[in-house]
Amino acid sequence: MLSKKVKDLLNAQVNAEFYSAYLYLDFSNYYKDEGLDGYANWYMIQAQEERDHAMLFIQYLQQNGESVTLEAIDKPDKKYKSFIDPLKEGADHERLVTGLINTIYGAAHKDNDYRTMQFLDWFVKEQAEEEENADDNVKKFELFGDDAKGLYMLDSEMKARVYTAPSLTLD
Answer whether 1's CB lies under 8 Å from 92's CB. Answer: no
Residue 36's closest CA among 160, 156, 163, 170? 156
Q: Is the pTM of this model over 0.85?
A: yes
**Separation between Cα atoms, residue 92 and residue 88, nearest integer Å:** 6
How confident is the model at residue 170, as a pLDDT?
59
Task: Using alpha carbons only, give the angle 112, 54, 61 rounded to the nearest 5 degrees.
Answer: 40
Amino acid identity at 170: L
Using the predicted structure, report yes or no on whether residue 167 has a pLDDT greater than 80: no
Using the predicted structure, report yes or no on whether residue 168 has a pLDDT greater than 90: no
Q: What is the mean pLDDT of residues 59-86?
A: 95
Using the predicted structure, report yes or no on whether residue 148 has a pLDDT greater than 80: yes
**Separation between Cα atoms, residue 15 and residue 121, nearest integer Å:** 19
CATH class of 4-159: mainly alpha
Q: Measure Cα distances from 14 to 99, 106, 157 in Å.
A: 14, 17, 31
Q: What is the mean pLDDT of residues 5-10?
A: 98
Per DSSP, helices labelled H in 64-167 are: 84-110, 114-144, 148-159
